[in-house]
Chains A and B, each alone.
Chain A
Amino acid sequence: MTYIQLSYGDLALPALLVVMDGVLSLVLRLKLEKQLAIATVRMVVQLVLVGYVLTFLFAAVSPLWTALAAFIMVLFASREIVARQKRRLPGIWSYGLGAGCMLLAAGTVTMFALLTALRPDPWFHPRYSLPLLGMILGNTMTGISLGLDVLTNSLVRERAAVEACLALGGTRHQALLPVIRDALRSGFMPIMNSMAAIGLVSLPGMMTGQILAGVEPIDAVKYQLLIMFLIAGGTGLGTLAAVMGGARLLTDHRHRLRLDRITAEAST
């Protein structure tokens, strides 16, 4: 494999493009220059740090450090899920449900791929496990946050319909089923859209990355297919678990709708 290595100096010229954006913002008074500067600095610092962290992890190949890195990734992803909710679940569940479902879904699917398709040595090798987990987490996170958002919003909006069914002797499962279906549909939509558009509209980042690194396009495609299958599985599992869990949390053993358990409305 041959690829063109970049030095930090090679990045100076492309970085001027961001400076150009800043000048545009000043000239047109978009008032974005401060945000733009912060975002750019954050991006550079975060990426360089991750580069060094990964270098360390790949050198160490330690199960403990790898697990810790994976755990931190899940934590950040669950924070992201909570931040995207207009209405929040009660107490510890606001983080716990998202984190638990992501750990379950992304963890299971990543393990599955490591133990069957890829089989690196050792099986948890961070060079394979962490990028896989990262890609699956990112997409599972989108599915879960969309699913939960639609669930809580629809329950508030469709409260009369749900309670009408409950009042007529429906179980909580019967009463919530239409809303649960909507929530699951929304959670699954992004991955299905991206599967349909992939290759025609968008060339996925990982595949282009591998091609730039000198991998044969067909080999890069196989990797991308693996990733897409894993993402579809992870999103399905995670969204299902989160929506069913959320529906259970917002009802109780006497089959009542408990919207009082949706606590604060976060600013969006």
Chain B
Amino acid sequence: MLTVNGLRRLHISVSFELRDGECVALQGPSGVGKTLLLRSIADLDPNDGTVKLDGTLRETMPAPAWRKRVTYLAAEPGWWSDTVQEHFTGWGDALPLATRLGLPDDCGPWPIQRLSTGERQRLGLVRALMLRSRVLLLDEPTSALDPASAAAVESLIAERISNGTSVIWSTHDNAQARRVGSRIFAMGPDGGIEESRT
């Protein structure tokens, strides 16, 4: 259970709870602060408020340990090495996930630049999934994908959710929000969230 209480960052101020194996869709116009909220939960930006995982305050553990449990995935993930496989501790273990998401099975030694934007977005997801985090904070994870790839991502995440992973999924696609989320958080310009059930 992820508990967010009085989280404040710039104009944002939110409180909510996220149960194990629950997926919440985060919606709202561009620039309203969805990314800021997700980054703050992962403690990637300075912020105030209490955020707990199973009652354990995030400040009681080192930030890297927190982020391995509560993992933020950017819409355009970054790459710190030249080739695909250098971004994984065990590329062999990641390969089945990668091919399942439609990435070429010989792409390990490829330079990152050889991948398209959509392929990089899926590879970023594979890299994050390898951590087997308790909570995934997905920032528009299918924004650069064609419908077939998006469906593959949705079904892969759905499996994780049924295994107990909690997800906050930010999306501009209303149909996707209703498909993946059991609840929808609509973020407004005032920095708060309005909850609705699907």
Binding site for B on A (CB under 8 A): 158-171, 175, 178, 252, 254-258
A33 to chain B, nearest CB (A): 49
What string of 1s and 0s marks CB contacts (under 8 Å) between B52-81 and chain A?
Answer: 000000000011110110011110111111
Name the one of A158, A167, A257 contacting B73, with C-beta atoms under 8 angstroms.
Answer: A167
CB pair A170–B78 under 8 Å, yes or no, is: no
* Extra A-B contacts (4), CB below 8 Å, given A161-B78, A169-B131, A258-B46: A163-B44, A175-B80, A255-B62, A256-B63
Name the one of B45, B63, B65, B77 contacting A164, with C-beta atoms under 8 angstroms.
Answer: B77
Main secondary structure of the interface of B (DSSP, over half): loop
CB pair B46–A163 under 8 Å, yes or no, is: no
Name the one of A169, A178, A252, A255 contacting B80, with C-beta atoms under 8 angstroms.
Answer: A178
CB pair A160–B77 under 8 Å, yes or no, is: yes
Contacts of B33 in A (CB 8 A): none
Beyond A171-B64, A256-B63, whether A166 also contacts B44 by CB under 8 A is yes
CB pair B78–A256 under 8 Å, yes or no, is: no
For B42, B67, B78, B124, the residue with the greatest tally of chain A CB atoms inside 10 Å of its CB is B78
Alpha-carbon distance between A167 and B73 when the two chains are bound, in angstroms: 7
Alpha-carbon distance between A169 and B69 when the two chains are bound, in angstroms: 8
How many B residues, CB 8 Å from partner? Answer: 25
14 contacts between A and B (CB under 8 A): A158-B80, A160-B78, A163-B44, A164-B79, A167-B71, A167-B72, A168-B68, A168-B131, A171-B64, A178-B81, A252-B46, A254-B46, A256-B45, A257-B44
Contacts of A252 in B (CB 8 A): 46
| B140 lies within 8 A of chain A by Cβ | no
| B22 lies within 8 A of chain A by Cβ | no
Name the one of A158, A160, A170 contacting B76, with C-beta atoms under 8 angstroms.
Answer: A160
CB pair B127–A168 under 8 Å, yes or no, is: yes
CB pair A164–B68 under 8 Å, yes or no, is: no
For B44, B64, B124, B128, the residue with the greatest tally of chain A CB atoms inside 10 Å of its CB is B64
A165 to chain B, nearest CB (A): 6
- Nearest first, the 7 closest Cβ-Cβ pairs linking A and B are A160-B78, A169-B68, A164-B78, A161-B78, A161-B80, A255-B63, A254-B63
